[in-house]
Amino acid sequence: MKYKLYKNIFLLFTLSFLFTSCCYNGLYSKNGHCRKKIHDYKLKNTKIDNIDTLAVYKEKINFAINSITKEYVFFEKNDDNSYPYVSYLKFYSNNKVGIFSIAKSDTLKLTREYFNPSKATMGYYFIEGNKMKIKFSIVFQCSHQILRKKATINKDSITTLQSGHSGTIYVKRNIPIAYLENWKPDW
């Protein structure tokens, strides 16, 4: 009986160790965002005309594409049934991009501290004409993953497409420049 109890305790300990050791336990920013190094794009943009690095791009509409009928279904972010956070893209001149997720209730009273790069999901981008490639370093379901998106720049909006089945439209939002300038990404 005693042997069986020890065996069960050992088995439980081993299983819990295996489950916890599978989780991402790498670098994090001081605000808890994953900072695992991912490779930047080989080519760098030396001149960026299509992206305003002194503005943010606010998530406005999410959409899904039916793979059979090719129909689009749009979900406005202002709907009551949408996610309680709004995402903002902030582009930096050194081919780095961050996603800031801010509670909807806080978007009416934005401050400089909301755009501290240590609070962002880290990523990289590369632009050719009005086409863009973006990749983000994320932790999803306890493991590190690289989320890749293709995007199109259309004047003051950016449309991202992920896996060809869903996407997001971001619209440029001008906020006080003092909120965005003199920040350096920590990745």
Polymer length in residues for the chain? 187
Q: How far apart are CA 33 and CA 20, in angstroms?
A: 19
* Strand ranges, E, within 105-156: 121-128, 131-140, 143-154
On the question of pLDDT at 13 being above 80, the answer is no
On the question of pLDDT at 4 being above 80, the answer is no
Q: Scan for tokens 């909006």, then name that residue.
A: 157
Question: Which pTM was predicted?
Answer: 0.78
Q: How far apart are CA 101 and CA 103, in angstroms?
A: 7
- The partner residues of 17 in beta bridges, in order of sequence, read none
Q: How far apart are CA 33 and CA 146, in angstroms?
A: 14
Q: Which long-range contacts (CB under 8 A, 24 or more apart) does 46-49 make?
A: 48/91, 48/93, 48/127
Phi, psi (rounded to 5 degrees) for 22: -80, -20
Take residue 85 and report the two structure tokens written for it.
Answer: 């956070």
On the question of pLDDT at 59 being above 90, the answer is yes
Neighbours of 157 (CB within 10 A): 15
CA 181 to chain centroid, in Å, comes to: 20
Give CATH for domain 24-179: 2.40.160
pLDDT band at 132 (very low <50, low <70, confident <90, very high): very high
Q: How far apart are CA 89 and CA 151, in angstroms?
A: 12
Neighbours of 150 (CB within 10 A): 15
Question: pLDDT tens across 142-187, in order?
Answer: 788 888 999 999 989 999 998 778 999 999 998 999 999 999 999 9
pLDDT band at 10 (very low <50, low <70, confident <90, very high): low
Q: Say which range, 81-85, 96-100, 164-168, has the weakest mean pLDDT.
A: 81-85
